[in-house]
A and B are shown apart, each in its own frame.
Chain A
Amino acid sequence: MTDLGIQAKADDLKPEQAPVKDRNQWWDVWDQFRSHKGAMAGLIFLTFITLFCAFGPMVWDVDPGKLDIRNKDVRPIYVAIWDVDAKTSWARPMGTDHLGRDIMANIMQGGRISLAVGWTAMVLAILIGTLVGVLSGYFKRLDWGLMRFTDLVLSLPILPLLLVMMLLFRDPLRAAFGPETGIFMLIVAGIGITSWMQTARIVRGDVMALKEREFVLAARSIGTPPRRMITRHILPNVLSPIMVSATLGLATAIITESALSFLGLGFPSDFPTWGKILFDSVDRMTAFPERVLWPGLAISLTVLAVNYIGDGLRDALDPRIRGL
């Protein structure tokens, strides 16, 4: 940090030297991020699991819903290491369930759904949260109303809310978009609209502090309209808390979806998600531990990875820690 400072001063002292190539500030962020080992590990894992789920089914071309009752209860291939007599097969490297469905294909397909729900719900929550936070922080007149609305939504319990939403909107959505997309939208909307409040609160606080800073006053004094003020001066400066809460939001959304599936709500039973695979395997947990281990590991490692990335991003985006 000090080295860099001295170097910078030294550069100033040598005007005859060729001008230093403009360095994008995101490179600094990346450098700082790279120094956070947990965050890097998290990023690598998240990339891996995303690629695994997104492109895995193209390589591993097995229909996850295909029943093959003759090849049921196949153990994962590694069981053969300590138990030669176990029913294993290279064609089913992670084994099959009690109806002969391939577990690896199910984990991939389930991951697609779980991750898609997580990402979409997170984006939705961040959009709403940022909008509400900026509006209520910047415009005093809206503040009271919006914050009381936030309190109201904060007090909504998600499970009963989702049950009511299912009751009211399931049939119309199913008619309009088909069963899977309909339920997907319902769950994403349910998770999204119940998890934007923390973001809104954080953003509001930051916006209120920023509003009193000199550069904002200066911008205002030259007549910048509020729309431009927000997009040019306020939003770039609250980006770091938004990104951090986005990563946390992704983790929460995946967990909530898993919890819903685990409770037997949410997606239909032939529609695998990580939570659902876990739910279906609990009965035979003692005999076939791998069936809960894999989806369970996938959920917890993804969430852990995302949390580490959030942690790393927070450090990387804070100029005081970055030392610039």
Chain B
Amino acid sequence: MNLKTALMGAVATVALGQMAYADAHEGDRGRDGEVKVIYWQAPSILNPFLSGGTKDIEAASLMIEPLARYDSSGALTPWLVEEVPTVANGGVSEDLTSITWKITSGILWSDGTPFTSADVKFTYEYCTDPESGCAQLTKFEGVTSVETPDDLTVVVNFDGPTPFPYGPFVGGESPILQAAQFADCMGAKAPECTDENFGPIGTGPFVVTDFRTNDVIQLVANENYREAGKPAFASMTFKGGGDATAAGRSVMETGEFDYAWNLQLAPDVIASMEAGGMGTPVAGFGPLMERIMLNQTNPDPSLSDEERSVIRPHPFLGDPAVYKAMSMAIDRPLLVEVGYGQAGKVTCNWIPAPEAVNSDTFTCDTQDIAGANAMLDAAGYMDTDGDGVREANGVPMQILYQTSTNAVRQDFQALIKEWWSEIGIEAELRNIDASVFFGGDPGSPDTFQKFYADVEMYANTFNGTDPQAYLGNGLCDNAPSPATQWQGENISRFCSEEYDALYAQLTTTADADERAAISRQLNDIMVEEGGMIPLVHRGRLSAHATSLGGVDLNVWDSELWNAADWYRTGDNR
């Protein structure tokens, strides 16, 4: 009996070992069952053109894809096209005014119809419709027309030499929509097309079967996906909502989910979760940067919607002495230690990566409360009534400091509030549920775009390695306002003629080194003139189950960029 059991056990072990060996993540489509992804910020729409939120863009990247995207090393990779056009291979014209994309033949939409150049052209028209309030409009800046000589060729023409023509249709923020599906959703009707916005037909590895807004998305493998045997998973459950702690636990401690996105948690918390043994955290440094945005306009609630955070200048935040003192009072190394540990670095720059674009003009790694106080004193901001708060022209320097609800951000708020109180600036704290704060709903007063506060803290980043489109966020006419349904990326309402002129120069410069130099200058203007106070250069920390293979954390594009390549490892299948 004992012998028999032992023998059977040995046989089973051998068999198992062979099975594991044979697990060369190849096989039929849908062989690995279900994969569960958790994003603690729930997607509220699956159309990235109508939302600036990373959660929406990344969820949508499972369905709709761009022509080319960045891989995990930051290199441009052809995606729906045969190759990345360059001047060398003739894809980009000599005068840098047009780029020609050759679509790979045979790509089908998930409904079985062929993917053609007409869809690409339609996407351009959809986003640039003046009434649509497209959130990704900066991607199409300078594009005069999109031509379709044949079904598989797209020519994008620019209004001038465009040295970096990889803005339109590249990266997770600029995917292609299906013309047939969205034909009736142009312009002002765009937000009303609920069915389309909640279930875009795409070329990606998955297809939406059920979308519950701000909750859960059910997806199944796309039967018409271009690569045989992919995706390995037959279905995906994309759960949204909750908080980063619960998401981290559900992957690393309990193993209920396979992938958790953006775990912005204190380092000791991550370490204790990792000890759970069900999953592994993965980190990567992209251009993600936690900052405090300084409102250039007056957010006074007694002003009307038309004026509030739109036109009037802020009573005192525009003064260099004020925002520089506020920045000097911050102990950034301590913030890194408290909030991010290994996944954070001190930064004084808006664009901290890639390295060539990282400016070295500023230093900010030592706290200087005395210096900050002296600076405010010299500028004439005195505490005249003895209540510990300075006055600016008779108005106490009290500011409303808002951010999203998140343990690390609330810790930062508490620390920074304390430091600011030491220099006589009183901060009132407010935290708003992340789904609302980043939701972009024009009906809510609490979105980061409306910025009904004096300062607000959040992190932002850009896809790809070229910061041109991201630097476009600092242009005067990119400020959100009621006229644009509060869409727009210039959150602090920064406006500088010098900046706009230098940006125009960047758009005509081809040489890579020169482009980097101009980008650094633009970065310096934004920080020097008080558009924002950079705090921490953040690595992105996500976690995946140990049984989930193929994860390649991409900080330059959507994290789910290679979901088609994910598979189940070992004997957990």
Interfacial residues, chain A to chain B (CB-CB below 8 A): 65-67, 69, 98-99, 101, 167, 171-172, 174-175, 179, 264-265, 268-270, 280, 282-284, 286-287
- Most A CB contacts (10 A, CB to CB) among B266, B405, B407, B429 go to B407
| B411 located at the interface, meaning its Cβ lies under 8 Å from any Cβ of chain A in the complex | yes
A264-B433, A283-B269 are known; give 17 further A-B pairs, CB within 8 A.
Answer: A69-B415, A98-B266, A98-B268, A99-B414, A101-B414, A167-B444, A167-B445, A171-B301, A264-B405, A268-B430, A269-B413, A269-B414, A270-B413, A270-B414, A270-B417, A284-B268, A287-B268
| B338 in the interface (beta carbon within 8 A) | yes
A283 to B244, CA, bound (A): 10
| Beta-carbon contacts under 8 Å, B336-354 to A | 338
Contact B410 A269 (CB under 8 A): yes
Once bound together, how far apart are the Cα atoms of A179 and B265, in whole Å? Answer: 28
For B301, the closest partner residue in chain A by CB is A171
Instruction: State A265–B437 Cα separation when bound (angstroms).
Output: 13
B218 within 8 A of partner (CB)? no
B302 and A175 form a contact (CB under 8 A):
yes
Taking CB as reference atom, which chain B residue is nearest A67? B418
Report chain A residues within 8 Å CB of B460.
Answer: none
Nearest opposing residue in chain A for B269, CB measure? A283
Selected A-B contacts with CB under 8 Å, 14 pairs: A65-B414, A98-B338, A99-B415, A101-B414, A171-B301, A171-B452, A179-B430, A264-B405, A264-B431, A269-B429, A270-B414, A280-B407, A283-B407, A284-B266
Bound: A268/B428 CA distance, A: 8
Inter-chain contact B429/A172, CB cutoff 8 Å: no
Answer yes or no: B334 CB below 8 A from chain A CBs: yes
Given contacts A269-B431, A283-B269, contact A69 B338 (CB under 8 A): yes
Asked if B366 CB lies within 8 Å of chain A CBs, one says no
Nearest-CB distance from B48 to chain A (Å)?
26
Residues of B450-491 whose CB lies within 8 A of A: 452
Residues of B within 8 A of A (CB): 245, 265-266, 268-269, 272, 301-302, 334, 338, 405, 407, 410-411, 413-415, 417-418, 428-431, 433, 444-446, 452
Give the residues in chain A near B428, CB-CB below 8 Å. Answer: 179, 268
Residues of A close to B265: CB separation below 8 A: 283
Which chain B positions have C-beta within 8 A of A101? 414
Are B431's CB and A283's CB within 8 A? no
With contact pairs A171-B301, A172-B301, A268-B430 given, residues A283 and B266 touching in the complex (Cβ less than 8 Å): yes
- Complex contact B411–A69 (CB within 8 A): no
Identify the interface centre among B414, B431, B445: most chain A CB within 10 Å of its CB: B414
How many residue-residue contacts, CB under 8 A, span A and B? 63
Which residues on B sit within 8 Å (CB–CB) of A69?
334, 338, 415
Measured CB to CB, the closest approach of chain B to A257, in angstroms, equals: 17
Complex CA distance for A179 and B453, rounded to whole angstroms: 13
Contacts of B405 in A (CB 8 A): 264
| Chain B min CB distance to A165 (Å) | 13
Q: Which residues of A contact B302 (CB under 8 A)?
A: 175
The reply to whether A287 and B410 form a contact with Cβ atoms under 8 Å apart is no
**CB-nearest residue of chain B relative to A180?**
B428
Given A99-B338, A174-B301, A280-B410, the answer on whether A286 and B272 have CB atoms closer than 8 Å is yes
Residues of A within 8 A of B414 (CB): 65, 67, 99, 101, 269-270
Give A74 to B418 CA distance when docked, in angstroms: 20
Q: Which chain A residue shows the least CB distance to B402?
A: A268
Cα distance, A292 to B338, chains bound together (Å): 20
Closest to A287 in B: B272
Contact A284-B269, Cβ < 8 Å, known A175-B301, A268-B428, A270-B429: yes
Of all chain A residues, the one with the shortest Cβ separation from B431 is: A269
Give every chain A residue within 8 A of B431 (Cβ-Cβ): 264, 268-269
A283: min CB distance to chain B, Å: 5
Expressed in whole angstroms, the Cα–Cα distance for A69 and B416 within the complex equals: 13
* Distance between Cα atoms of A287 and B271 in the complex (Å): 11
Give Cα A286 to B273, complex, Å.
10
Residue of A nearest to B406 (CB): A264
With both beta carbons as reference points, the residue of chain B lying nearest to A276 in the complex is identified as B410
Closest 7 A-B residue pairs measured CB to CB? A171-B301, A264-B405, A269-B410, A268-B429, A270-B429, A283-B245, A179-B428
Name A265's closest neighbour in chain B (CB-CB).
B433
Closest A residue, CB atoms, query B300: A175
Smallest CB gap from A285: residue in B: B245
Chain A residues in 8 Å Cβ range of B269 = 283-284
B267 to chain A, nearest CB (A): 11
Most buried by B among A265, A270, A284: A270
**Complex CA–CA separation, A282 to B265 (angstroms):** 12
Q: Which residue of B lies closest to A168 (CB)?
A: B445
| Docked pose: A283 CA to B302 CA in angstroms | 38
A253 and B410 CA atoms in complex are apart in Å by 26
**Chain B residues near A179 (CB, 8 Å)?**
428, 430
Cα distance, A179 to B410, chains bound together (Å): 17
Complex Cα gap A286–B302 (Å): 46
Q: Shortest distance in angstroms between A86's beta carbon and chain B's nearest beta carbon?
A: 16
Complex-state Cα separation, A97 to B338, whole angstroms: 12
Residue of A nearest to B331 (CB): A69
Cα distance, A282 to B243, chains bound together (Å): 11
User: CA separation between A282 and B273, bound complex, in Å?
Assistant: 13
A280 to B243, CA, bound (A): 12
Q: Which A residues lie within 8 Å of B272 (CB)? A: 284, 286-287
Give Cα A129 to B428, complex, Å. 36
Q: How far is the CB of A289 from chain B (nearest CB, A)?
A: 13
Smallest CB-CB separation from A281: which chain B residue? B407
Chain A residue nearest to B452 (CB atoms) is A171
Which of B245, B334, B411, B413 meets A98, CB within 8 Å?
Answer: B411
- Residues of B close to A284: CB separation below 8 A: 266, 268-269, 272
Complex interface: chain A residues within 8 A of B410 (CB): 269, 280
Chain B residues near A66: list those with CB within 8 A: 418
A102 to chain B, nearest CB (A): 13
Contacts of B407 in A (CB 8 A): 280, 283
